[in-house]
Amino acid sequence: MALPAIGLRRSLGALVGAAVLSVAIAACSPHSGEGADSAQSPLQQTTPLTPLPRLTATEQAREMVTEPEVLVHSRLATLSTLATECAECGTVLEVATAESAQRIERAGGAWDPWSGSQPLPWAEESVELISELPEPGFTPDQVGGYMAATASEHLRTLAQAEGISGADRVALSALLVGRYASSASLASEFAFDLDRAISEVPKQNIPTFVIDGPEGLGSDGSPSEAATQSGSAQSGSPKTSDANAQDEDLEDLALVQYDCISQAMVSSVPADVEGEARRSQLRVTELIQNRTVTLSAAGAADERGARCTLEQSDPGELLVELLRVDLMLTGSDDPDTREHAAQWAVDDIEILTESHPDLAPTVSIFPPLVASIDDEE
């Protein structure tokens, strides 16, 4: 499920370098001090603002995923180094930091037009700058709340955006779900209520993104990698979203898969078993039933058979498969279906982290198929 690498570092570096150089040359001009009427500051002599190259919708979506993740990674790394009096706490935070780093790498890395440095103060009027994002808090519950809140919000933003391939939607959605799972893991380890932590994140601290880039064009006007790929998501997805999905609507396929999982879930818990296992099974089957109603009402063809067979039989494995189907639907052509699927994925990752935390994908449910930017350069 390869995402297009943003190959803008070099081109933008040259662009910015040219702008800064023009300012420097103007400052050293032998004519810059001749006469009061002709005297101008170097910035006055550098006319047009050098804009950042316009990103495609896919590139903008990827930045929406990676930029908050970079902040999360930085804060988790800081907390892990400060946890000197609690070795177990430090280990948990180190694991969360490593997971965050993997999510950044899977997305291809954050866009860094300044190559890790900031422009000189006197160049700020000549070069467009990137605004800073609100950062997470300084305690595990504040960071966990920020992680979950941004993941949920940006799943919805991604679902509403246009101009992004289904393959890229699925890949990015999986990374956001991974962030949510990681936040749930922190909540479990540090014994805080995740729902409360989410509610305590100030709305203004949740970064908002507008995805309005052109479809299928790179920053230089050439076709983007996303526009030239075909079916990349399917190569890293499970059976429910492989090449067969190209031959029928995702909604039709999901309807069948949800029904199969529901049947298998009922069979996975013996009738004489009570307690949490039974309550979890009833909750999941009810959720699935509501989803099949939603998909049917949206026009999905009901091709469910009387019985179906899945390789999975363990309740935890079935929940993982359920999450795969949710994520498959985030690549739908229908925005309403994508929004439903985004919420379903959040619901299912919450159940999975509660009942089978060892199976929750805290990076991505799909295998790594994206090389880092440094590898590509």
Closest to 114 measured CA to CA, from 219, 5, 13: 13
Q: Does residue 368 register a pLDDT over 70? A: yes
231: its two tokens: 């079916």
DSSP conformation class of 241: G
Alpha-carbon dihedral 2, 319, 64, 226, rounded to 10 degrees? 20
User: Where residue 300 falls among pLDDT bands split at 50, 70, 90?
Assistant: confident
3-class secondary structure, 127: strand
Residues 101-120 pLDDT 10s = 999 999 988 776 656 555 55
Q: Domain boundaries in the chain?
A: 1-111+125-233, 237-363
Please give the Cα distance from 106 to 93 (Å, whole number). Answer: 20
Contacts for 257 with CB less than 8 Å, ≥ 6 apart: 240, 321, 325
User: Where residue 18 falls among pLDDT bands split at 50, 70, 90?
Assistant: very low
> Is 0.85 surpassed by the pTM of this model?
no
Please give the Cα distance from 195 to 192 (Å, whole number). Answer: 9
Could you please state the CATH topology (level 3) that the domain comprising 237-363 is classified under. Ferritin (1.20.1260)
Amino acid at 97: T
User: Where residue 24 falls among pLDDT bands split at 50, 70, 90?
Assistant: very low
Give the chain's mean pLDDT: 75
pLDDT at residue 265, as a whole number? 87
Q: Does residue 199 register a pLDDT over 90? A: yes
Contacts for 250 with CB less than 8 Å, ≥ 6 apart: 166, 241, 328, 329, 331, 332, 337
Closest to 348 measured CA to CA, from 323, 328, 317, 318: 323
Least confident of 4-18, 64-78, 276-290, 299-313: 4-18
Residue 14: CA count within 13 A, CB half-sphere: 4
Q: Could you tell me how far CA 46 lies from the centroid of its own chain?
A: 38
Q: Does residue 93 register a pLDDT over 90? A: yes
pLDDT at residue 367, as a whole number? 84
Please give the Cα distance from 361 to 181 (Å, whole number). Answer: 7
Percentage of residues in the chain having pLDDT higher than 90 = 47
pLDDT at residue 110, as a whole number? 74
Radius of gyration for the alpha carbons in the chain, expressed in angstroms and rounded: 24
155 burial type by CB count under 10 A (0-12 exposed, 13-18 middle, 19+ buried): buried
| CB-based contact 221:56 (threshold 8 Å) | no
Q: Could you tell me how far CA 307 lies from the centroid of its own chain?
A: 36
User: Where residue 273 falls among pLDDT bands split at 50, 70, 90?
Assistant: low
User: Where residue 281 falls among pLDDT bands split at 50, 70, 90?
Assistant: confident
Closest to 348 measured CA to CA, from 156, 206, 181, 233: 181
| CB-based contact 178:170 (threshold 8 Å) | no
3-class secondary structure, 88: helix
